[in-house]
Amino acid sequence: MSVSVARRAARTGRARLGLGLLAAIAFVVVFGPLLAPWPPTAIVAPPLEGPSAQFPLGTDLLGRDVLSRLLSGGGTLTWMTLLATGIGVVLGALIGLTAAYRDGVADTVLMRAMDVVLSFPETIFVLVFVAAFGRHPLLTASLVGVAFAPGVSRVLRGAALPVFDSEYVLWAKANGLPGRQIVLGEVLPGVTSPLMVETGMRLVWAVTAIASLNYLGFGITPPAPDWGLMVSENQDGLAVAPLPVLAPIALILMMALGGNLVAESVARTVSRTEGKS
């Protein structure tokens, strides 16, 4: 059923636009580093030069080629986003389903623990750990994932509770089917729709969170090229040379918008099909 939802969602106009944007970004991320005319970290010219044949988008505040940094700077954001989403969704789903299955003490303890994590806005949650353990993109991405888990777990617990109370799960309980089989065989397929919607939304939020953290300098460290980092590096030169700031912004925008269009059409398709079963 989830396959058919994905297929139907992909047929809508907005989803196609979104997929197109994501494909373009994917192309830049995968092939960009090979196409870059200059090494992304090399200082090759005076700072803040305007566009020219040699430097099509000009140079940044340190005199590095903006186009080359742009072409090389998507990879980090991409893998960090995917990792954060993956951790958030898998961890959240596990916790949410466990809490829903083991109602009672385990449920309360798990959900209160989630409340504690939830009471940090995720940026601040990440900052606390970064302050203690230093900057590593891997750490930052994992932390964003962990910060997402409580939200995902709440949604999944909420979606799973009625499924656990549904008659077909009661039948399985009355007939003594093993717990693992009930959770994986009966309940999990019953919550694929919210899981898909949640994944799409978290993917978009992860782009926002990771790009923001890189912008603040708490993800990847200079001089590595990254779109978020480029914005903060060149912010002071905005009045003189807007391109080093606006060009990475345009790419972040495409990525976030593309993701959001796809996520929204999945959510719409799901909510439209839900009513019919």
CB nearer to another protein: pick between 45 and 257: 257
CB-based contact 1:262 (threshold 8 Å): no
Residue 150 zone, left/alpha/beta (φ > 0; ψ -120 to 50; rest) = alpha
CB nearer to another protein: pick between 34 and 276: 276
Number of residues in the chain = 277
CB nearer to another protein: pick between 30 and 240: 240
CB neighbours of 240 closer than 8 A, spacing ≥ 6? 48
Please give the Cα distance from 80 to 135 (Å, whole number).
Answer: 13
Q: Give least dist CB 34 to another protein, A.
A: 27
CB nearer to another protein: pick between 37 and 178: 178
Q: Give least dist CB 269 to another protein, A.
A: 15
Instruction: Evaluate the omega torsion of the peptide bond into residue 40 and state whether it is cis, within 30 degrees of 0.
Output: no
Q: What's phi and psi for 43, nearest 5 deg?
A: -85, 115
Q: Give least dist CB 98 to another protein, A.
A: 18
In the complex, which residues of this chain contact another protein (CB under 8 A)?
1, 14, 112, 115-116, 118-124, 127-133, 166-168, 170-177, 185-186, 189-190, 204, 207-209, 211-212, 215-218, 228, 231-232, 235, 238-239, 242, 245-246, 249, 252-253, 256-257, 259-261, 264, 276-277
Q: Give least dist CB 105 to another protein, A.
A: 15
Please give the Cα distance from 269 to 36 (Å, whole number).
Answer: 40
